[in-house]
Amino acid sequence: MNWRIISTLVAKDFSLFFRKKFFAIVTVIGLVFYIVIYFVMPGTVNENLEIGLFAPVTLPAFEEIQEEGLVVQTVDSVDALKEGVIEGKYVAGVSLPADIMEKLSSRQKPTVSLYFTPDVPQEMKDTIALIIREMAFLQTGQPLNIEVTEETLGPDVSGTPIPPRDRLRPLLAIIILAVEMMGLANLLSEEVERGTIHALLVTPMSIKELFIAKGITGTGLAFGQAVLFMLLVRGFGEGPLIILLALLLGAVLFTGVAFLISSVSKDFMSVLAWSIPSFILLLVPSFSILFPGAITNWIKILPSYYLVDTVHRVANFGSGWGDIWLNLLILLGYCLVITWTGIFVLRRRVQ
């Protein structure tokens, strides 16, 4: 292995990468942009459900509900209630009839009016209706004759709600890696298409040294930026070594994908055409963190799942080596398979 040759090639590739205005701009501005997005996103989670209430009579049951994270704001009239709902001050407006106590005492059914804006999901409407019924039971002194027990399946994260910006962090890290993947794929496909790779291969270098140099360039660009991003968004607060390792494996993974893409691409447009579907597919696991429960288990076949899941669990829940080792092992396996396949097909194209 001739490291002089490898370092010469890496220096050349870095220089060429930043001479391509498109990728240079995307890299620098992109990094700034992702960091801005991160800090613009809310850094805390509002766990309170705010409800507006118009109640001609005071119902003690509401006080009890408030203690459970339900914030009830009373208003003076139904009109003020409706106005508050429309303005978004309250998730829902509750209007109690003046004779509610009498009707509850005489076991008649009082009518309670709920007000929502059109964008409130049905699940939320059902929840509010359930709360009102529960209050009615409490108020009449006839609690539901059931006993409720709770069991948490998987890690109990109820005490550690994750701010939206921290849910976004793995997604942004993946985007950074993927953009560099496109840059490397373009660099490689140009090298093959313009024949410069043949000029290199008639010098005293082996094809192994060439691929090692390309791998170092791609991994270095992607890893460097991902690390910089995580540093700036304080992503190394928990398990920094695990996150570093996961990002390094992620950078290798995306470099392997870049080899694959460059083996079938002839120009910038075909690099884009192949990169975008790959990009979207590899991005999907990040959405499972943004919208938990929205995506089923099939995403576990995607290699990026093990990167995203590792970064998410370590950075947001403080998971350690013992919790995450299998993820890292699977990610390493994917890295080896994809990078080897990428080198194999690209080598066939070159030769």
Partner 1 sequence: MARDAIVAEELTYRYGELTAVDHISFNVAESEILGFLGPNGAGKTTTFKMLTGQLKPKGGQASLLGMDIARNLEKVQGEIGVCFETTNLYEQMSALENLNLFASLFGIRSFDGNALLERVGLGGRGKDRVETYSKGMKQRLMVARAILNKPRLLFLDEPTAGLDPTSSEKIRNIILEERERGATVFLTTHDMLEADKLSDRVAFMNQGKIVALDTPHQLKQQHGKRALKAKVAGDNGALEDREINLDTPETPEAVRKLFSQEKVITIHSEEATLEDIFISLTGRGLV
Binding residues for partner 1 (CB under 8 A) = 4-5, 8-9, 12, 15-16, 19-20, 194-196, 198-206, 351
- Closest distance of CB 201 from partner 1, Å: 6
- Closest distance of CB 206 from partner 1, Å: 6
CB 317, CB 155: distance < 8 Å: yes
Measured CA to CA, the distance from residue 131 to residue 158 in angstroms comes to: 20
**92-95 and 70-74 beta bridge pairing:** unpaired
- Closest distance of CB 264 from partner 1, Å: 20
Measured CA to CA, the distance from residue 131 to residue 144 in angstroms comes to: 13
- Closest distance of CB 44 from partner 1, Å: 47
Tell me the three state secondary structure of residue 118.
coil
Nearer to partner 1, 194 or 300 (CB): 194
Nearer to partner 1, 194 or 266 (CB): 194
Q: What is the spatial order of strands in the sheet that 113-115 belongs to?
A: 70-74, 49-54, 92-95, 113-115
Nearer to partner 1, 103 or 208 (CB): 208
Q: Scanning the structure block, which residue is given the tokens 């890299």?
A: 27
Q: What is the dihedral of CA 20, 22, 23, 27, to 10 degrees?
A: 130
Nearer to partner 1, 19 or 109 (CB): 19
Nearer to partner 1, 23 or 34 (CB): 23
- Closest distance of CB 196 from partner 1, Å: 5
- The DSSP-derived string for 24-82 is HHHHHHHHHHHHHHHHHS-SS----EEEEEE-SS--THHHHHHTTTEEEEE-SSHHHHH
Nearer to partner 1, 122 or 203 (CB): 203
Indicate the helix (H) or strand (E) that contains 232: helix 207-232
Nearer to partner 1, 20 or 349 (CB): 20
- Closest distance of CB 27 from partner 1, Å: 16
- Closest distance of CB 254 from partner 1, Å: 24
CB 17, CB 228: distance < 8 Å: no
CB 255, CB 280: distance < 8 Å: no
Q: Is 59 left (phi over 0), alpha (psi -120 to 50) or beta?
A: beta
CB 339, CB 252: distance < 8 Å: yes
**92-95 and 49-54 beta bridge pairing:** parallel
Measured CA to CA, the distance from residue 144 to residue 54 in angstroms comes to: 25
Nearer to partner 1, 11 or 144 (CB): 11
Measured CA to CA, the distance from residue 2 to residue 206 in angstroms comes to: 9
Burial 236-267 (b: 16+ CB within 10 A, else e): beebeebbebbbbbbbbbbbbbbbbbbbebee
- Closest distance of CB 20 from partner 1, Å: 7
- Closest distance of CB 209 from partner 1, Å: 9
- Closest distance of CB 118 from partner 1, Å: 55
